Amino acid sequence: MTTGDTPLIVASLAFLTTAIGWLIRELWLRREHKRQAAHDAGTILKERKAHLEDMIAKTEDVNSKQTLIAQLDEVNALLVGLYTERLRHTL
């Protein structure tokens, strides 16, 4: 190693440090976006569940009620999947 190599080594280390910092930041942002998307999905599903339960309570037609119950079952399945995913990431 000669004295002329020192600026090259310093520049290479600076580049590597910047690249690693950028990569870590991008991974962090991706994680935060996934977390926010899961939160938003949970909020939407909870609102949909409350709306369906309200519609089921107000509906008198048996066929319509069965359709709404089937939709509610789908929403409940999605919520369970979302909660399972959160639990899996927690553990």
Task: Dump pLDDT digits (tens) for 38-91.
Answer: 999 999 999 999 999 999 999 999 999 999 999 999 999 999 999 998 888 777
pLDDT in the model for residue 87:
86
For residue 39, the enclosing domain spans 3-90
pTM higher than 0.75: no
CB 41 within 8 A of CB 82: yes
How far does the chain reach from its first CA to its final CA, in angstroms? Answer: 49
> Is the model more confident about 2 or about 86?
86
Residue 5: pLDDT band by 50, 70, 90 thresholds?
confident
Residue 61's SS3 state is coil
pLDDT in the model for residue 70:
95
Q: Which of 29, 27, 49 is nearest to 37 (CA)?
A: 29
Domain count, the chain: 1
